Amino acid sequence: MSEEMSPRSLFDKLWDAHVVVAETRETPAVLYIDLHLVHEVTSPQAFSVLAERDLLVRRPDLTIATLDHSTPTSPPKPNGELAYATPQAKRQVDRLIKNCAHHKVRLLGLGDPRRGIVHVIGPELGLTQPGKTIVCGDSHTSTHGAFGALAFGIGTTEVGHVLATQCVLQRKPKSMRVTFDGALPAGVTAKDMALYMIAEVGASGGQGYAMEFAGEAVRALSMEGRMTLCNMSIEAGARFGMIAPDETTVDYLQNREQAPQGAAWERAVRRWQSLPSDDGAMFDREIDIDASNIRPMITYGVSPDAAAAVDASAPQAQSDADRLALDYMEIKPGRPFSATQVDRVFIGSCTNSRLSDLREAADIMRGRKVNDKVVALVVPGSVAIKRAAEAEGLDKVFIDAGAQWREPGCSMCIAMNGDQGAPGELVVSTSNRNFVGRQGKGVRTVLASPATAAASAIEGRIADPRNYHVNKMEQADVA
């Protein structure tokens, strides 16, 4: 078989379709970018470079901006002004508004019903589509790979390059396929799959690779679950995470605001159907995971790969770094995780703030009360999700339980907008990183699914959500 006819992976197809100038030993490839997502934190310097060189955004029609990192999720002040955490946060927002107006870039600004976290609104609006190259000045751009897109985070300098040229320089990485065989047990979610995978391969196991997720358990996931899995591929060190488009993908995108319509839709679907990896496609590394072995997961250290089943006990330290991490987390080796007290719970972020995530948490909190020693924040990922949740009465479930129902935004994930823990507090968070100081100085972070976070809020300690699922099934049997 000739090289041209050799079976190709999803990654190879996407890469080859977007190469403008081929990679050489001396220079990276030049890749064309189909969609550039922009937010207020990583764009100011890039826009300043354009101003210094008297340049305009080359393709404002392929660029869309939103406000998410620095925007307050708390109610406005009595005078109607937003309660920005710092003057710098307000300046970031104001600068993006000004820059977008000058460059005629679409901005989902304050008051726009389409505004939300950048990696939530892209799919929600149908901007994210199979076959596209998608970049953003945010490492978790890999989220969009759930649609069979080549999506990756870029640095501030690269943001400027894309604004000016609609291209980016990139070395082609190796390829890795992670196959989840079998079915997930009841009560196990995509977040648990992600944490299990990261614990298996390590925080640098995917470094230098584009990671494709495959297998029965992946195909069974909703698009929301697939986004969660691809979102956290970066925590295993991979630059790209992706899943081949299928009927689930098509059903999700149909009739979205920015999705193709009419005859263009039919052509797009035919094109998307050609993207999955060919039979016989070669990968540089293959990893197989038995999905039936996965249980609800939590992290116990200061890296996402320090993860274990929620019903397990803390492991013995294997190195000085492990000992320091456990000391920081105040988790004693050999002690059940369920003995760990919780001070705060955060349900939100680009990893787990979609409607299905909120439903998952609400199912646990419904008819129950948050422990009186716990502060719980529930932050929807977009205005549209907030409105949909309120239409279902989910806001009332959270408020009745004693949780705070907030405005959309990144919130406690990166603690830039005033939502953060206090020194020494332990936070069970549905976000993606548990680094020291990520959620506030001296804050200890435990990553978990929305169900585990909700159960922990109720019990005031790290809790297994399957206990609540069992109770729910028993109640249904009685009824």
Per-residue pLDDT tens over the stretch 200-229:
999 999 999 999 999 999 999 999 999 999
What pLDDT is attached to residue 478? 44
State how far the Cα of 300 lies from the Cα of 452, in Å rounded to an integer.
Answer: 14
Token digits for 36?
Answer: 């550039």
Q: Name the amino acid, one letter, at 55.
A: L
**Of the candidate ranges 73-77, 134-138, 160-164, 355-359, the one whose mean pLDDT is the lowest:** 73-77
pLDDT at 36 over 70: yes
Residue 434 reports pLDDT greater than 90: yes
| Predicted confidence band of residue 383 (pLDDT cuts 50, 70, 90) | very high
Q: Which range has highest mean pLDDT (4-18, 64-78, 375-389)?
A: 375-389
Q: What is the mean pLDDT of the chain?
A: 96
Asked if residue 239 has pLDDT above 70, the reply is yes
In three-state secondary structure terms, 287 is strand
List every span in the chain annotated with CATH 3.30.499.10. Answer: 8-170, 301-478
Sign of the alpha-carbon dihedral angle for 101, 105, 106, 109: negative
pLDDT at 477 over 60: no
In b/e form, how buried is each residue of 152-168, taking b as 16+ CB within 10 angstroms?
A: bbbeeebbbbbbbbbbb
- Is 356's pLDDT higher than 60? yes
Q: What pLDDT is recorded for position 4?
A: 62
Closest CA to 310 of 413, 447, 403: 447
Q: Is it the case that residue 436 has pLDDT exceeding 60? A: yes
User: Encoding tokens for residue 458?
Assistant: 């109720």
Please say if the pLDDT value at position 474 is more than 50.
no
Residue 2 binned pLDDT confidence (cut-offs 50, 70, 90): very low
Residue 22 burial (10 A CB sphere; 0-12, 13-18, 19+): exposed
Taking 90 as the threshold, does the pLDDT of residue 470 lie above it?
Answer: no
pLDDT at 469: 76
What topology does CATH give the domain 174-246+255-293?
Answer: Aconitase; Domain 2 (3.40.1060)
- The segment(s) of the chain belonging to CATH 3.40.1060.10 are 174-246+255-293
pLDDT of residue 364: 98
**Is residue 10's pLDDT more than 60?**
yes
Q: Which long-range contacts (CB under 8 A, 24 or more apart) does 218-223 make?
A: 218/179, 218/180, 218/243, 219/246, 219/248, 220/183, 220/184, 221/190, 221/248, 222/248, 222/356, 223/123, 223/146, 223/147, 223/248, 223/249, 223/252
321 within 8 A of 329, measured Cβ to Cβ: no
CB of 245 within 8 A of CB of 276? yes
Q: pLDDT class for 479, splitting at 50, 70, 90? A: very low
**pLDDT value of residue 290:** 98
CB within 8 A of 212, min separation 6: which ones?
Answer: 9, 10, 11, 175, 176, 177, 178, 241, 242, 243, 244, 277, 283
CATH class assigned to 8-170 = alpha beta
Q: Pick 301-478's CATH classification: 2.40.100.10, 3.30.70.100, 3.40.30.10, 3.30.499.10.
A: 3.30.499.10
The pLDDT confidence band at residue 3, using thresholds 50, 70 and 90, is low
What average pLDDT score do residues 251-270 get? 98
Mean per-residue pLDDT for 72-92? Answer: 92
pTM equals: 0.96
